[in-house]
Protein backbone atom coordinates (compact mmCIF):
# COMPACT_ATOMS: atom_id res chain seq x y z
CA UNK A 1 0.00 0.00 0.00
CA UNK A 2 1.16 3.56 -0.75
CA UNK A 3 2.52 5.12 2.51
CA UNK A 4 0.31 8.13 1.91
CA UNK A 5 -2.80 5.96 2.03
CA UNK A 6 -1.69 4.56 5.40
CA UNK A 7 -0.54 7.68 7.21
CA UNK A 8 -3.00 10.26 5.89
CA UNK A 9 -5.52 8.71 8.30
CA UNK A 10 -3.14 9.62 11.14
CA UNK A 11 -2.29 13.15 10.05
CA UNK A 12 -5.62 14.14 8.49
CA UNK A 13 -8.26 12.60 10.82
CA UNK A 14 -11.91 13.66 10.81
CA UNK A 15 -12.87 12.53 14.32
CA UNK A 16 -10.39 12.77 17.23
CA UNK A 17 -10.82 11.58 20.81
CA UNK A 18 -8.67 12.71 23.76
CA UNK A 19 -8.64 10.06 26.46
CA UNK A 20 -7.63 11.70 29.70
CA UNK A 21 -8.74 15.24 28.88
CA UNK A 22 -8.93 17.38 32.01
CA UNK A 23 -10.31 20.75 33.15
CA UNK A 24 -7.23 21.26 35.36
CA UNK A 25 -4.37 23.32 33.91
CA UNK A 26 -1.99 21.16 35.97
CA UNK A 27 -2.76 18.16 33.74
CA UNK A 28 -1.37 17.35 30.27
CA UNK A 29 -4.90 16.43 29.22
CA UNK A 30 -5.96 20.05 29.68
CA UNK A 31 -3.20 21.45 27.48
CA UNK A 32 -3.70 18.78 24.82
CA UNK A 33 -7.39 19.67 24.56
CA UNK A 34 -6.54 23.37 24.51
CA UNK A 35 -4.14 22.75 21.60
CA UNK A 36 -6.78 20.89 19.63
CA UNK A 37 -9.48 23.47 20.32
CA UNK A 38 -7.30 26.41 19.32
CA UNK A 39 -5.68 25.20 16.10
CA UNK A 40 -8.58 25.63 13.68
CA UNK A 41 -9.15 21.88 13.34
CA UNK A 42 -12.09 21.29 11.00
CA UNK A 43 -13.05 17.84 12.31
CA UNK A 44 -14.92 16.68 15.41
CA UNK A 45 -13.31 16.54 18.86
CA UNK A 46 -14.45 14.16 21.62
CA UNK A 47 -13.17 13.91 25.18
CA UNK A 48 -13.15 10.91 27.51
CA UNK A 49 -13.02 11.28 31.28
CA UNK A 50 -15.61 9.54 33.50
CA UNK A 51 -15.12 12.14 36.27
CA UNK A 52 -16.68 15.01 34.32
CA UNK A 53 -19.75 15.73 32.21
CA UNK A 54 -18.16 18.66 30.39
CA UNK A 55 -14.55 19.75 29.82
CA UNK A 56 -13.73 23.17 28.34
CA UNK A 57 -17.17 23.33 26.79
CA UNK A 58 -17.08 19.85 25.25
CA UNK A 59 -19.26 16.96 26.41
CA UNK A 60 -17.19 14.35 28.25
CA UNK A 61 -17.86 10.65 27.69
CA UNK A 62 -17.27 8.01 30.38
CA UNK A 63 -15.43 5.70 27.95
CA UNK A 64 -14.21 5.46 24.40
CA UNK A 65 -16.87 2.87 23.64
CA UNK A 66 -19.66 5.28 24.62
CA UNK A 67 -18.73 7.77 21.87
CA UNK A 68 -21.17 7.32 18.98
CA UNK A 69 -19.61 6.44 15.62
CA UNK A 70 -16.03 5.74 14.66
CA UNK A 71 -12.85 7.50 15.79
CA UNK A 72 -9.96 8.12 13.39
CA UNK A 73 -7.34 9.15 15.96
CA UNK A 74 -7.19 8.55 19.70
CA UNK A 75 -4.87 10.68 21.85
CA UNK A 76 -3.99 9.03 25.16
CA UNK A 77 -2.94 11.28 28.06
CA UNK A 78 -3.32 9.08 31.15
CA UNK A 79 -0.95 7.34 33.64
CA UNK A 80 1.24 4.73 31.94
CA UNK A 81 -0.24 1.83 33.94
CA UNK A 82 -3.67 2.50 32.42
CA UNK A 83 -2.56 2.86 28.79
CA UNK A 84 -2.62 -0.80 27.78
CA UNK A 85 -6.21 -1.30 28.92
CA UNK A 86 -7.27 1.79 26.95
CA UNK A 87 -5.36 0.53 23.93
CA UNK A 88 -7.44 -2.65 24.03
CA UNK A 89 -10.56 -0.46 24.10
CA UNK A 90 -9.23 1.30 21.01
CA UNK A 91 -8.97 -2.11 19.35
CA UNK A 92 -12.57 -2.96 20.21
CA UNK A 93 -13.71 0.43 18.92
CA UNK A 94 -11.86 -0.09 15.63
CA UNK A 95 -9.42 2.78 16.21
CA UNK A 96 -6.31 2.10 14.10
CA UNK A 97 -4.25 5.21 14.90
CA UNK A 98 -3.21 6.21 18.41
CA UNK A 99 -0.99 8.93 19.82
CA UNK A 100 0.37 8.01 23.26
CA UNK A 101 1.64 11.16 24.99
CA UNK A 102 1.91 9.37 28.35
CA UNK A 103 5.43 8.78 29.74
CA UNK A 104 6.72 6.11 32.12
CA UNK A 105 7.76 3.43 29.65
CA UNK A 106 11.19 2.27 28.41
CA UNK A 107 12.73 5.72 28.98
CA UNK A 108 12.34 5.27 32.75
CA UNK A 109 14.85 3.47 34.96
CA UNK A 110 12.17 1.16 36.31
CA UNK A 111 11.92 -2.44 35.09
CA UNK A 112 8.17 -1.86 35.12
CA UNK A 113 8.57 0.73 32.35
CA UNK A 114 10.39 -1.71 30.07
CA UNK A 115 7.68 -4.32 30.63
CA UNK A 116 4.90 -1.80 29.98
CA UNK A 117 6.43 -0.85 26.64
CA UNK A 118 6.82 -4.50 25.60
CA UNK A 119 3.17 -5.11 26.43
CA UNK A 120 2.13 -1.91 24.66
CA UNK A 121 3.83 -3.10 21.48
CA UNK A 122 2.32 -6.58 21.83
CA UNK A 123 -1.25 -5.26 22.23
CA UNK A 124 -0.75 -2.81 19.33
CA UNK A 125 0.30 -5.71 17.09
CA UNK A 126 -2.66 -7.82 18.21
CA UNK A 127 -5.12 -5.01 17.55
CA UNK A 128 -3.49 -3.74 14.34
CA UNK A 129 -2.90 -0.28 15.80
CA UNK A 130 -0.23 2.20 14.72
CA UNK A 131 1.20 4.24 17.61
CA UNK A 132 3.21 7.44 17.71
CA UNK A 133 4.90 7.51 21.12
CA UNK A 134 4.78 6.83 23.97
CA UNK A 135 6.65 9.55 25.86
CA UNK A 136 6.09 12.26 23.26
CA UNK A 137 4.83 15.84 23.16
CA UNK A 138 2.63 14.75 20.25
CA UNK A 139 2.59 15.92 16.65
CA UNK A 140 1.44 18.92 14.62
CA UNK A 141 0.13 19.07 11.07
CA UNK A 142 -0.05 22.73 10.05
CA UNK A 143 -1.26 21.71 6.60
CA UNK A 144 -4.26 19.99 8.20
CA UNK A 145 -4.86 22.59 10.96
CA UNK A 146 -4.17 19.90 13.57
CA UNK A 147 -2.24 20.50 16.79
CA UNK A 148 -2.22 17.11 18.50
CA UNK A 149 0.27 18.09 21.19
CA UNK A 150 0.35 19.42 24.73
CA UNK A 151 1.70 22.81 23.51
CA UNK A 152 -0.90 25.24 22.08
CA UNK A 153 1.88 27.58 20.86
CA UNK A 154 2.69 25.24 17.96
CA UNK A 155 -0.43 26.66 16.28
CA UNK A 156 1.41 30.03 16.01
CA UNK A 157 3.83 28.60 13.46
CA UNK A 158 3.60 29.64 9.83
CA UNK A 159 2.70 26.90 7.41
CA UNK A 160 5.53 26.03 5.04
CA UNK A 161 7.29 23.16 3.33
CA UNK A 162 9.57 21.75 6.06
CA UNK A 163 8.55 18.64 8.00
CA UNK A 164 10.45 17.66 11.15
CA UNK A 165 10.85 14.17 12.61
CA UNK A 166 12.41 14.24 16.05
CA UNK A 167 13.24 11.94 18.93
CA UNK A 168 13.10 14.92 21.26
CA UNK A 169 10.08 17.02 22.11
CA UNK A 170 12.41 19.59 23.68
CA UNK A 171 14.24 20.05 20.35
CA UNK A 172 10.87 20.51 18.63
CA UNK A 173 10.01 23.25 21.12
CA UNK A 174 13.40 24.93 20.63
CA UNK A 175 12.88 24.89 16.87
CA UNK A 176 9.28 26.13 17.27
CA UNK A 177 10.36 29.31 19.11
CA UNK A 178 13.16 29.95 16.60
CA UNK A 179 10.88 29.33 13.62
CA UNK A 180 8.26 31.75 14.93
CA UNK A 181 10.90 34.47 15.40
CA UNK A 182 12.50 33.83 12.01
CA UNK A 183 9.22 33.31 10.13
CA UNK A 184 10.26 29.82 9.00
CA UNK A 185 7.44 27.79 7.50
CA UNK A 186 6.89 24.29 8.90
CA UNK A 187 4.49 21.59 7.82
CA UNK A 188 4.46 18.48 10.01
CA UNK A 189 6.31 18.30 13.34
CA UNK A 190 6.40 14.82 14.84
CA UNK A 191 7.76 13.78 18.21
CA UNK A 192 8.52 10.07 17.78
CA UNK A 193 9.11 9.49 21.48
CA UNK A 194 9.98 5.87 22.33
CA UNK A 195 8.97 4.63 18.83
CA UNK A 196 7.05 1.60 20.02
CA UNK A 197 5.99 0.66 16.48
CA UNK A 198 6.51 3.84 14.43
CA UNK A 199 10.05 4.94 13.63
CA UNK A 200 11.89 7.27 11.26
CA UNK A 201 11.92 4.64 8.52
CA UNK A 202 8.11 4.30 8.72
CA UNK A 203 7.35 8.01 8.29
CA UNK A 204 10.10 9.06 5.86
CA UNK A 205 8.44 7.31 2.88
CA UNK A 206 5.16 9.00 3.79
CA UNK A 207 6.73 12.46 3.83
CA UNK A 208 8.28 11.77 0.41
CA UNK A 209 4.77 11.18 -0.96
CA UNK A 210 3.31 14.12 0.99
CA UNK A 211 2.75 16.93 -1.51
CA UNK A 212 2.82 19.65 1.17
CA UNK A 213 6.32 18.62 2.35
CA UNK A 214 9.27 19.93 0.31
CA UNK A 215 12.14 18.96 2.62
CA UNK A 216 12.57 16.84 5.75
CA UNK A 217 14.60 17.56 8.90
CA UNK A 218 15.57 14.71 11.23
CA UNK A 219 16.76 15.03 14.82
CA UNK A 220 18.27 11.65 15.74
CA UNK A 221 19.58 10.43 19.07
CA UNK A 222 19.74 6.70 18.45
CA UNK A 223 17.99 3.92 16.55
CA UNK A 224 17.81 0.18 17.05
CA UNK A 225 17.87 -0.64 13.32
CA UNK A 226 20.25 1.86 11.68
CA UNK A 227 20.31 -0.04 8.38
CA UNK A 228 16.55 0.46 7.91
CA UNK A 229 16.94 4.17 8.62
CA UNK A 230 19.80 4.54 6.15
CA UNK A 231 17.89 2.69 3.42
CA UNK A 232 14.86 4.93 4.03
CA UNK A 233 17.05 8.02 3.69
CA UNK A 234 18.62 6.71 0.47
CA UNK A 235 15.18 6.10 -1.00
CA UNK A 236 13.92 9.53 0.08
CA UNK A 237 16.78 11.71 -1.20
CA UNK A 238 16.08 10.74 -4.78
CA UNK A 239 12.93 12.84 -4.51
CA UNK A 240 13.35 15.19 -1.54
CA UNK A 241 16.26 16.57 0.49
CA UNK A 242 16.86 15.13 3.97
CA UNK A 243 18.76 17.20 6.56
CA UNK A 244 19.98 15.44 9.72
CA UNK A 245 21.32 16.54 13.07
CA UNK A 246 22.72 13.56 14.95
CA UNK A 247 23.14 14.10 18.70
CA UNK A 248 25.27 12.00 21.00
CA UNK A 249 28.82 13.04 20.14
CA UNK A 250 30.01 12.81 23.75
CA UNK A 251 29.83 9.76 26.00
CA UNK A 252 27.53 11.60 28.41
CA UNK A 253 25.12 12.48 25.59
CA UNK A 254 25.18 8.84 24.49
CA UNK A 255 24.24 7.74 28.01
CA UNK A 256 21.56 10.44 28.28
CA UNK A 257 19.81 9.11 25.17
CA UNK A 258 18.86 5.95 27.07
CA UNK A 259 16.98 7.85 29.77
CA UNK A 260 15.44 10.20 27.23
CA UNK A 261 13.79 7.95 24.65
CA UNK A 262 14.92 4.48 25.66
CA UNK A 263 17.64 3.97 23.02
CA UNK A 264 21.42 4.17 22.86
CA UNK A 265 22.88 6.74 20.50
CA UNK A 266 25.69 4.57 19.10
CA UNK A 267 29.13 5.55 17.74
CA UNK A 268 28.81 9.16 16.57
CA UNK A 269 31.44 9.14 13.83
CA UNK A 270 30.11 5.92 12.36
CA UNK A 271 26.64 7.42 12.16
CA UNK A 272 27.94 10.65 10.61
CA UNK A 273 29.84 8.83 7.89
CA UNK A 274 26.99 6.46 7.10
CA UNK A 275 24.37 9.22 7.01
CA UNK A 276 26.44 11.23 4.55
CA UNK A 277 27.14 8.16 2.41
CA UNK A 278 23.40 7.45 2.15
CA UNK A 279 22.55 10.97 1.04
CA UNK A 280 21.72 12.96 4.18
CA UNK A 281 22.84 16.58 4.49
CA UNK A 282 24.43 16.98 7.92
CA UNK A 283 23.70 19.93 10.22
CA UNK A 284 25.90 21.08 13.09
CA UNK A 285 23.14 22.09 15.51
CA UNK A 286 19.31 22.18 15.73
CA UNK A 287 18.96 25.74 14.41
CA UNK A 288 21.14 24.96 11.41
CA UNK A 289 19.05 21.83 10.91
CA UNK A 290 15.83 23.75 10.42
CA UNK A 291 17.48 26.68 8.59
CA UNK A 292 19.09 24.47 5.95
CA UNK A 293 15.87 22.48 5.61
CA UNK A 294 13.96 25.69 4.94
CA UNK A 295 16.40 26.82 2.25
CA UNK A 296 15.93 23.44 0.58
CA UNK A 297 12.16 23.75 0.83
CA UNK A 298 12.17 27.09 -1.02
CA UNK A 299 15.01 26.92 -3.56
CA UNK A 300 16.30 24.77 -6.40
CA UNK A 301 19.50 22.76 -5.86
CA UNK A 302 22.73 24.63 -6.56
CA UNK A 303 24.64 23.22 -9.54
CA UNK A 304 28.02 24.88 -8.93
CA UNK A 305 30.08 26.61 -6.27
CA UNK A 306 30.65 30.04 -7.89
CA UNK A 307 28.93 32.52 -5.58
CA UNK A 308 28.26 36.23 -5.85
CA UNK A 309 27.94 38.32 -2.70
CA UNK A 310 25.94 41.55 -2.78
CA UNK A 311 26.17 43.46 0.49
CA UNK A 312 25.06 46.76 1.97
CA UNK A 313 28.10 46.97 4.26
CA UNK A 314 31.64 45.86 3.39
CA UNK A 315 32.31 44.18 6.74
CA UNK A 316 29.54 41.64 6.27
CA UNK A 317 30.78 40.99 2.76
CA UNK A 318 34.18 40.05 4.17
CA UNK A 319 32.64 37.81 6.84
CA UNK A 320 30.47 36.04 4.27
CA UNK A 321 33.43 35.61 1.91
CA UNK A 322 35.42 33.88 4.67
CA UNK A 323 32.47 31.61 5.49
CA UNK A 324 32.01 30.73 1.83
CA UNK A 325 35.65 29.68 1.53
CA UNK A 326 35.36 27.56 4.70
CA UNK A 327 32.43 25.72 3.11
CA UNK A 328 34.16 25.00 -0.21
CA UNK A 329 32.70 27.84 -2.29
CA UNK A 330 34.52 30.20 -4.64
CA UNK A 331 33.74 33.86 -5.19
CA UNK A 332 32.55 34.12 -8.79
CA UNK A 333 34.60 36.06 -11.33
CA UNK A 334 32.14 38.29 -13.15
CA UNK A 335 32.00 38.24 -16.94
CA UNK A 336 33.40 41.21 -18.87
CA UNK A 337 29.89 42.42 -19.73
CA UNK A 338 28.83 42.32 -16.07
CA UNK A 339 31.99 44.16 -14.99
CA UNK A 340 31.35 46.87 -17.57
CA UNK A 341 27.71 47.29 -16.56
CA UNK A 342 28.58 47.51 -12.86
CA UNK A 343 31.27 50.08 -13.58
CA UNK A 344 28.76 52.11 -15.60
CA UNK A 345 26.00 51.81 -12.96
CA UNK A 346 27.98 52.44 -9.79
CA UNK A 347 30.17 55.43 -8.77
CA UNK A 348 33.97 54.94 -8.83
CA UNK A 349 34.42 55.02 -5.02
CA UNK A 350 32.26 51.90 -4.57
CA UNK A 351 33.46 48.28 -4.66
CA UNK A 352 32.14 46.95 -7.96
CA UNK A 353 33.86 43.57 -7.91
CA UNK A 354 32.74 40.50 -5.95
CA UNK A 355 31.62 41.08 -3.15
CA UNK A 356 29.63 44.01 -4.53
CA UNK A 357 29.21 46.84 -2.00
CA UNK A 358 25.95 48.80 -2.23
CA UNK A 359 26.80 51.08 0.70
CA UNK A 360 27.27 54.32 -1.22
CA UNK A 361 24.13 53.87 -3.32
CA UNK A 362 22.00 52.40 -0.53
CA UNK A 363 19.41 55.20 -0.65
CA UNK A 364 18.85 54.68 -4.38
CA UNK A 365 16.48 51.71 -4.47
CA UNK A 366 16.21 51.70 -8.26
CA UNK A 367 19.99 51.68 -8.78
CA UNK A 368 20.49 48.96 -6.16
CA UNK A 369 17.86 46.91 -7.96
CA UNK A 370 19.67 47.27 -11.29
CA UNK A 371 22.94 46.13 -9.72
CA UNK A 372 21.25 43.11 -8.15
CA UNK A 373 19.57 42.07 -11.41
CA UNK A 374 22.88 42.47 -13.28
CA UNK A 375 24.70 40.13 -10.88
CA UNK A 376 21.90 37.54 -10.94
CA UNK A 377 22.06 37.42 -14.75
CA UNK A 378 25.81 36.82 -14.93
CA UNK A 379 26.57 33.46 -16.60
CA UNK A 380 29.57 32.94 -14.28
CA UNK A 381 27.42 33.06 -11.15
CA UNK A 382 25.86 29.83 -9.83
CA UNK A 383 24.34 31.24 -6.64
CA UNK A 384 23.89 34.51 -4.76
CA UNK A 385 23.99 35.75 -1.17
CA UNK A 386 22.29 39.08 -0.56
CA UNK A 387 23.28 40.85 2.65
CA UNK A 388 21.22 43.81 3.82
CA UNK A 389 21.26 45.25 7.31
CA UNK A 390 19.24 48.01 8.96
CA UNK A 391 21.77 50.83 9.32
CA UNK A 392 19.96 54.14 8.96
CA UNK A 393 16.23 54.72 8.76
CA UNK A 394 13.48 53.07 6.77
CA UNK A 395 12.68 56.54 5.39
CA UNK A 396 16.20 56.75 3.95
CA UNK A 397 16.85 53.14 3.08
CA UNK A 398 14.40 50.92 1.16
CA UNK A 399 14.73 47.27 0.22
CA UNK A 400 14.63 46.75 -3.58
CA UNK A 401 12.02 44.02 -3.17
CA UNK A 402 10.61 44.17 -6.68
CA UNK A 403 14.04 43.88 -8.31
CA UNK A 404 15.05 40.94 -6.09
CA UNK A 405 11.80 39.11 -6.80
CA UNK A 406 12.17 39.77 -10.53
CA UNK A 407 15.76 38.48 -10.53
CA UNK A 408 14.78 35.29 -8.67
CA UNK A 409 11.83 34.66 -10.97
CA UNK A 410 13.75 35.35 -14.18
CA UNK A 411 17.01 33.50 -13.51
CA UNK A 412 15.82 30.74 -11.09
CA UNK A 413 19.30 30.88 -9.54
CA UNK A 414 19.60 29.55 -5.98
CA UNK A 415 19.90 32.45 -3.57
CA UNK A 416 19.69 33.27 0.13
CA UNK A 417 19.56 36.49 2.11
CA UNK A 418 21.21 37.61 5.32
CA UNK A 419 18.97 40.29 6.86
CA UNK A 420 18.51 41.47 10.42
CA UNK A 421 16.35 44.36 11.58
CA UNK A 422 14.81 45.73 14.77
CA UNK A 423 11.27 44.42 15.46
CA UNK A 424 8.64 45.90 13.16
CA UNK A 425 11.09 47.05 10.46
CA UNK A 426 10.64 45.76 6.89
CA UNK A 427 8.18 43.11 8.03
CA UNK A 428 6.04 43.38 4.89
CA UNK A 429 9.13 43.42 2.69
CA UNK A 430 10.50 40.27 4.32
CA UNK A 431 7.14 38.58 3.90
CA UNK A 432 7.09 39.38 0.18
CA UNK A 433 10.65 38.10 -0.29
CA UNK A 434 9.79 34.84 1.50
CA UNK A 435 6.71 34.45 -0.71
CA UNK A 436 9.02 34.82 -3.73
CA UNK A 437 11.01 31.84 -2.40
CA UNK A 438 13.98 33.66 -0.84
CA UNK A 439 15.23 32.12 2.43
CA UNK A 440 16.13 34.86 4.93
CA UNK A 441 18.60 34.36 7.78
CA UNK A 442 19.58 36.80 10.52
CA UNK A 443 23.06 35.25 10.83
CA UNK A 444 25.62 35.13 8.00
CA UNK A 445 26.83 31.65 9.00
CA UNK A 446 23.33 30.22 8.65
CA UNK A 447 22.89 31.97 5.29
CA UNK A 448 26.08 30.31 4.03
CA UNK A 449 25.07 26.94 5.47
CA UNK A 450 21.69 27.29 3.77
CA UNK A 451 23.45 27.83 0.46
CA UNK A 452 25.76 24.89 1.25
CA UNK A 453 22.69 22.68 1.74
CA UNK A 454 21.47 23.66 -1.73
CA UNK A 455 24.86 22.80 -3.23
CA UNK A 456 25.17 19.55 -1.29
CA UNK A 457 21.71 18.41 -2.38
CA UNK A 458 22.54 19.20 -6.00
CA UNK A 459 25.49 16.81 -5.75
CA UNK A 460 23.49 14.19 -3.81
CA UNK A 461 20.67 14.19 -6.34
CA UNK A 462 23.08 13.81 -9.24
CA UNK A 463 24.82 10.92 -7.47
CA UNK A 464 21.66 8.98 -6.61
CA UNK A 465 19.79 9.68 -9.82
CA UNK A 466 22.81 8.76 -11.88
Residue 150 lies in a domain: no
Residues 49 and 91 reside in one and the same domain: yes
Q: Are 154 and 189 in contact (CB under 8 A)?
A: yes
Among 103, 135, 167, give the residue marking a domain's end: 135
CB count within 10 Å of CB 317 equals: 24
What share of the chain has pLDDT > 90, as a percent? Answer: 83
Burial 127-136 (b: 16+ CB within 10 A, else e): bebbbbbbbb
If you average pLDDT over residues 97-119, what whole number do you get? 90
**How many domains does the chain divide into?**
3
Residue 349, pLDDT > 80, answer no
Please say whether the dihedral angle defined by the alpha carbons of residues 173, 178, 180 and 181, taken in this order, is positive or negative.
positive
Residue 88 included in any domain: yes
| Residues 337 and 275 placed together within one structural domain of the fold | no
- The pLDDT tens digits of the residues spanning 1-27 come to 788 888 999 999 999 999 999 999 999
Q: Are residues 293 and 308 in the same domain?
A: no
Assess whether pLDDT exceeds 90 at residue 233.
yes
Is 213 in contact with 163 (CB distance < 8 Å)?
yes
The pairing of strands 130-132 and 138-141 is unpaired
- 192 in the same domain as 118: no
Examine the domain organization and report whether 23 and 130 are in the same domain.
yes
pLDDT confidence of residue 286: 97
Q: Which of 263, 298, 333 is the last residue of a domain?
A: 298
Residues ≥6 apart with Cβ < 8 Å to 30: 21, 22, 23, 24, 56
pLDDT digits (tens, 9 = 90+) for 114-137: 999 999 999 999 999 999 999 999
- Asked if residue 194 and residue 52 are part of one domain, the reply reads no
Residue 391 lies in a domain: yes
- For residues 259 and 386, state if they share a domain: no
State whether 124 and 163 are in the same domain. no
What CATH number has the domain bearing residue 276? 3.40.50.261
CB 91 within 8 A of CB 122: no
| DSSP secondary structure string for all residues of 49-108 | -TT-SEETTEEEESSSTTSSS--SEEEE-S-HHHHHHHHHHHHHHT--EEEE----STTS
Ordered DSSP codes for 21-44: --S-TTSHHHHHHHHHHTTT--SE
Supply the pLDDT for residue 232: 96
Instruction: Kindly list the strands in the beta sheet with 44-48, ordered across the sheet, starting from the edge strand earlier in the chain.
Output: 54-55, 58-61, 44-48, 15-19, 73-76, 97-100, 130-132
> For residue 236, what are the domain limits?
157-298
Average pLDDT estimate for 29-35: 98
Buried b (16+ CB within 10 A) or exposed e, 156-182: ebeebbbbbbbbbbebbbbbbeebeeb
Distance CA 349, CA 384 (A): 23
pLDDT surpassing 90 at residue 412: yes
Same domain for 183 and 290? yes
Note whether 161 and 212 are same-domain residues: yes
- Domain boundary at 264, 298, 332, which? 298
Is residue 147 in some structural domain? no
Q: Is residue 280 part of a domain?
A: yes
Tell me the C-alpha distance between 408 and 184, whole Å.
19
Cα angle, residue 94 at apex, residues 90 and 98 outer, rounded to 5°: 45
* Residue 261 clears pLDDT 60, i.e. is over it: no
| Domain shared by 456 and 348, yes or no | yes
CATH number at residue 19: 3.40.50.720
Q: What is the mean pLDDT of the chain?
A: 93
Whether 204 and 237 map to the same domain: the answer is yes
Instruction: Please name which of 258, 239, 220, 262 lies closest in space to residue 116, comparing C-alpha atoms.
Output: 262
pTM, whole model, 2 decimals?
0.93
3-state secondary structure of 334: coil
Amino acid sequence: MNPKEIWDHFFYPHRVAIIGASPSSEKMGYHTLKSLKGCGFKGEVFVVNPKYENILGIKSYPSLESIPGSIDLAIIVIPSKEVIEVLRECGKKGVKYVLVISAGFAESDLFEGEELQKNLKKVAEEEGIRIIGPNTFGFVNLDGHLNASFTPSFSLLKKGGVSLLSQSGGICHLIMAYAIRENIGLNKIIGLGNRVNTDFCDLLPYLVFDESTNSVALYIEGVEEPRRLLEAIRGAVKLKPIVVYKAGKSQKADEAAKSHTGSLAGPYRVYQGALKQYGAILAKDPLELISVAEALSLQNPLKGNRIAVITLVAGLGMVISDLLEENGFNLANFSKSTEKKLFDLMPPYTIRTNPVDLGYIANNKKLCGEVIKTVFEDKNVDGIILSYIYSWSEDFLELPVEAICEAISKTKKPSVMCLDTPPGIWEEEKKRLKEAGLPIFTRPDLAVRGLFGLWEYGRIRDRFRG
